[in-house]
């Protein structure tokens, strides 16, 4: 069995704790590797080395740092197949989906190639009599990223690329369920010219997370995961005086208006609801048709499409629509939530609980499920299922549909399908959700914008990647300067206004 490592000071380093956790192949249910769980001593030494390496890296001019990103981007492209295979092997995604995972991370790296233009400060001459003012952006120091299992390439790249381009050193703690992609990306970044120690990949569990949150050298923490953990990390980091941006769970709705193209809406729901086995924080898990006729038409369109979905391992070819969920516990939780929906009165139109794949009976596969007549008081509506389950909540009019979203605890993403521009514009302006799609099911912004939800989907003021990332990973220093042109007599003892 393969024994994985940490990545410290430019090298793969074996763990010393003697503690390991299993890394599964979700398609077979077999343990394929074990990953070491670091001690606090290992973590603190890695942080200490990162702090030492960061000084010279921050003093490297932004253009040279950007050149490392350029080389890193080229290496990611060169190793796309290998990286996608690592993602699929540990997460279970299909190869096309895994390549998308890598690609969306690469796009953030590409924006970071233009870091010098995003790190420029401000200048004003003669802000007062003979006084000039200027503001500069400077690196924070050592920062940390704590990333989830569902995007083993994309989210680590969302964290590491802007942080490092800004001149910081980063401690990356990837999910212990899918660590290999982060380890390989760290190798490629070193090959691209990143000095040793600027990126340290430390595998661990809650002990390491708490160690990161309590370490005085760490200046900022970025996290993606469930809402309870996001809230915990945000609170503890803030208490310890750190910057924190913590992104949590979601319950994303898509409104389908009576004038929508029903075929396009159904196709969108299939991709957004069942892609990656529903293990996306931007997955559409709630369809909200407006009017009974719209709902009936939508269900009629969805059923044959869902029945044609092909579920299987990534090794079965590119025509597989989605693979297994991440663990046996995840599969069990999804099935329990489906059962609760039946018990609470929802109509289970398609039942995926008994799905079994010949030759992969021990894999963590869930068949696609579709509910109709779901109500907001049901567990399947209130809980983030994080599986291949689509719930349909029928509404009588647009205002009722909008209110359903507005009163939901989560505010990550949402969408509306309509042919009416006035309705679409009203929806975009009024809905209290961070990312909105108009005839677009998964509105993840392109990498030169920023990603972030509202309400209990996000904790912290700034979003991920794009311009917000460069604000998050730097601090502003403002200098007020005056140069005397000659000898001035006397001293002013009062606090003078700059008039």
C-beta of residue 187 within 8 angstroms of C-beta of residue 181? no
Cα–Cα distance, 424 to 257 (Å, whole number): 10
At 170, give phi and psi (nearest 5°).
Answer: -125, 135
| 140, β-bridge pairs | none
Based on the residue annotation, tell me whether 178 is a catalytic residue of this protein.
Answer: no
Cα–Cα distance, 9 to 135 (Å, whole number): 33
At 159, give phi and psi (nearest 5°).
Answer: -85, -50
Catalogue the E-assigned strands of 351-427: 369-372, 389-392, 410-411, 413-417
What's the distance, Cα to Cα, between the start and end of the chain in Å? 73
Cα–Cα distance, 323 to 366 (Å, whole number): 8
C-beta of residue 46 within 8 angstroms of C-beta of residue 200? yes
C-beta of residue 473 within 8 angstroms of C-beta of residue 166? yes
State the catalytic residue, choosing from 178, 246, 281, 366.
281
| 373, β-bridge pairs | none
Cα–Cα distance, 242 to 246 (Å, whole number): 12
C-alpha angle 81-85-90 in degrees, rounded to nearest 5: 155
Q: What letter does residue 351 receive in the DSSP assignment?
A: -
* Pair type for strands 122-128 and 131-139: antiparallel
Chain centroid to CA 202: how far?
Answer: 19
Question: Which H or E run includes 36?
Answer: strand 30-36
Q: Could you identify the residue written with the tokens 């309705």?
A: 423
Cα–Cα distance, 163 to 133 (Å, whole number): 27
Neighbouring CB atoms inside 10 A of 204's CB total 28
At how many degrees (to 10) do helices 154-165 and 95-112 cross? 10
The SS3 assignment for 211 reads: helix
Neighbouring CB atoms inside 10 A of 412's CB total 28
Q: Catalytic residue numbers?
A: 281
């Amino acid at each position: 069995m393969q024994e994985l490592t940490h990545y410290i000071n430019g090298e793969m380093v074996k763990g010393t704790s003697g503690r390991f956790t299993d890394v599964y192949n979700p398609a077979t249910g077999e343990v394929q590797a074990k990953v070491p769980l670091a001690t606090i001593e290992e973590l603190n030494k890695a942080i200490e080395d990162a702090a030492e390496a960061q000084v010279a890296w921050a003093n490297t001019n932004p253009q040279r740092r950007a050149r490392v990103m350029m080389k890193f981007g080229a290496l990611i492209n060169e190793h796309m197949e290998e990286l996608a295979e690592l993602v699929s092997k540990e997460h279970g995604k299909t190869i096309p989906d895994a390549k998308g995972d890598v690609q969306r991370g690469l796009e953030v790296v590409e924006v970071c190639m233009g870091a010098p233009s995003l790190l420029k400060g401000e200048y004003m001459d003669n802000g007062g009599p003979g006084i000039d003012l200027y503001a500069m952006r400077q690196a924070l120091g050592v920062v940390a990223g704590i990333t989830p299992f569902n995007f083993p390439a994309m989210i680590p790249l969302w964290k590491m690329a802007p942080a490092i381009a800004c001149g910081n050193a980063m401690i990356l703690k990837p999910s212990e369920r899918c660590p290999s992609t982060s380890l390989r990306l760290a190798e490629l970044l070193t090959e691209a010219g990143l000095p040793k120690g600027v990126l340290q990949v430390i595998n661990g569990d809650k002990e390491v997370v708490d160690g990161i949150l309590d370490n005085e050298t760490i200046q900022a923490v970025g996290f993606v995961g469930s809402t309870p953990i996001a809230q915990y990390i945000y609170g503890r980091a803030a208490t310890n005086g750190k910057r924190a941006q913590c992104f949590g769970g979601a319950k994303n709705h898509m409104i389908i208006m009576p004038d929508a193209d029903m075929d396009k809406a159904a196709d969108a729901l299939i991709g957004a609801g069942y892609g990656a086995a529903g293990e996306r924080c931007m997955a559409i898990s709630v369809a909200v048709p407006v009017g009974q006729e719209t709902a009936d038409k939508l269900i009629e369109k969805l059923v044959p499409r869902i029945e044609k979905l092909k579920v299987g391992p990534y090794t079965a070819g590119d025509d597989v629509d989605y693979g297994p969920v991440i663990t046996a516990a995840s599969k069990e939780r999804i099935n329990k939530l489906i059962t609760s929906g039946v018990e609470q009165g929802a109509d289970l139109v398609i039942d995926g609980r008994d799905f079994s794949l010949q030759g992969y009976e021990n894999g963590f596969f869930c068949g696609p499920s579709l509910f109709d007549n779901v109500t907001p008081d049901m567990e399947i509506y209130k809980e983030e299922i994080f599986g291949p389950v689509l719930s349909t909540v029928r509404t009588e009019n647009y205002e009722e549909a909008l209110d359903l979203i507005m009163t939901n605890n989560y505010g990550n993403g949402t969408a509306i399908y309509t042919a009416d521009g006035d309705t679409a514009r009203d929806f975009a302006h009024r809905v209290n959700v961070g990312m909105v799609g108009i005839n677009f099911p998964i509105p993840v912004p392109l990498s030169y914008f920023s990603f972030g939800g509202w309400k209990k989907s996000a904790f912290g003021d700034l979003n991920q990647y794009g311009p917000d990332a460069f604000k998050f990973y730097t601090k502003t220093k403002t200098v007020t300067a005056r140069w005397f042109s000659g000898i001035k007599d006397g001293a002013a003892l009062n606090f003078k206004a700059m008039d």
